[in-house]
Amino acid sequence: MAGLSLRCGDCGALLKSVEEAQEHAELTSHANFSESTEAVLSLVCSSCGKPCRSKTETDLHTKRTGHTEFVDKTLEAAKPIALEVPKARRDDDAVMEDASTSQQPEDMVVPEVDQKLLVDLEEMGFSKARAIRALHYSGNSSLEAAATWIVEHENDSDIDEMPLVPASTKAEAPKPSLTPEEMKVKAQELKEKARKKKEEEEKRMEREREKERIRVGKELLEAKRIEQDNERKRIMAMRKAEKEEEKRAREKIRQKLEEDKAERRRKLGLPLEDPANVKPVAPIVEEKKSLPIRPATKAEQMRECLRFLKQNNKDDDTKVKTAFSTLLTYLKNVASNPDEEKFRKIRLSNAAFQNRVGKVEGGIQFLELCGFSKMEGDEFLFMPRDKFDMAVLVSAGTELDNAIKNPFFGVL
């Protein structure tokens, strides 16, 4: 009995022809096929006429559509299978010959285009090479198509190079379809269209640039606002810390006075005050240690330096006042005689300077904040004339005067 199908030995699928077997092999990579006397099923749905090739396909069709009636037309459609591969077309030999001849170099020539359209494009201001290229690639169809092609390809690097095509593809240019008057009108329309398109593009780019400028401006304003907020918070925190320090200093002095008063009464043999009449002393709340606030301005740095000097020498109030007074004298001399070098130069080894300022930790640092710097192997403190700043000296004098007169300065 002649074979009616091809069976795939890998998956068992039945195929009607060699072409189907080849497609199946390409899709699944199966290569084991054999001739079968079993015909491929042809089950046709009675309701919609859809053919199904297996029981699985009929089950799927029933699930999708609900159709359950199928007519078996397998025997009607069964035909012996042809196992021979279809012969290639006779034209293949000619194709091979053409391929071999195409490898030989051909003469390149300028393509023929509609001369009337070429003249019109040149009158519009386009170069001859550009006009020929546009007419060739737009198919010599119309002046509008050529002008549109030029607008779309005006940024091409070879737009003004003369196009060349093989001599075998040189075609006869089609005749123009418009009258000269219509072509002039069309050319004017194309020019206007190209001009409008360019204007719209420029407007669009300007809008984009304006949006970018607005965005950058908003970002700068927001950054400036955040910086101002941070600076305001920092100043408020410093002021609050100064008030708390002053409050604790007053409380400590008040407690010291109460203790001294009680000690004097004890030495004089007087009875102690009735605890009921003594106002309760509020306990000193220890300040939680936190990260120090870094002074931002020159005045704040000077104030912090003086506070550091007093706290490190709080047991010798006379020494601190002497250092403050000596620093103030140096600054007054410099401010009054800025051109006198002797007032802007201090010998570090000078005994009076060492006893009053040099040995006090923080004294030299304060002078450096005012503009002095060490020189000649750290033998002198010197303020160059170009470093003289009256505003800085005035600010330093104000801080020193406040430190001398304020009894609560740097107590804690």
Convert the pLDDT of each residue in 233-257 to its tens digit: 989 998 999 899 889 999 999 899 8
Q: What is the 3-state secondary structure (H, E, C) of 241-266?
A: HHHHHHHHHHHHHHHHHHHHHHHHHH
To the nearest whole number, what is the mean pLDDT of the chain? 80
Quick one: DSSP state of residue 387?
G
Q: Output the pLDDT for position 141.
A: 77
The second-level CATH assignment, the architecture, of 108-177 is Orthogonal Bundle (1.10)
Q: Which residues contact 401 (CB under 8 A, 6 or more apart)?
A: 328
* Number of C-beta neighbours around residue 46 at 10 A: 10
CB 346 within 8 A of CB 380: yes
Higher pLDDT, 88 or 333: 333
Res 136 pLDDT > 80: yes
Over the stretch 47-84, which tens digit does the pLDDT of each residue have?
888 888 778 788 888 888 888 888 888 777 777 776 66
Q: Does CATH place domain 298-405 in 1.20.58.2190? A: yes
Chain Cα centroid distance, residue 21 = 56
| Beta pairing class for 5-8 and 33-36 | antiparallel
Rounded CA gap, 117 and 132, in Å?
A: 9
DSSP per-residue codes, 136-203 = HHTTT--HHHHHHHHHHTTT-TTTTSPP-EEGGG--PPPPP-S-HHHHHHHHHHHHHHHHHHHHHHHH
pLDDT at residue 106 greater than cutoff 70: no
Each domain of the chain, given as residue ranges in start order, spans 5-77, 108-177, 298-405
Q: How far is CA 82 from the centre of its chain?
A: 67
Q: Note whether 335 and 390 are within 8 A (CB).
A: yes
Contacts of 317 (CB under 8 A, 6+ apart): none
- Rounded to an integer, what is the distance from CA 202 to the centroid of its chain? 26
Q: How far apart are CA 372 and CA 364, in angstroms?
A: 9
The answer to whether the CB of 118 falls within 8 A of the CB of 132 is yes
Residue 9 clears pLDDT 70, i.e. is over it: yes
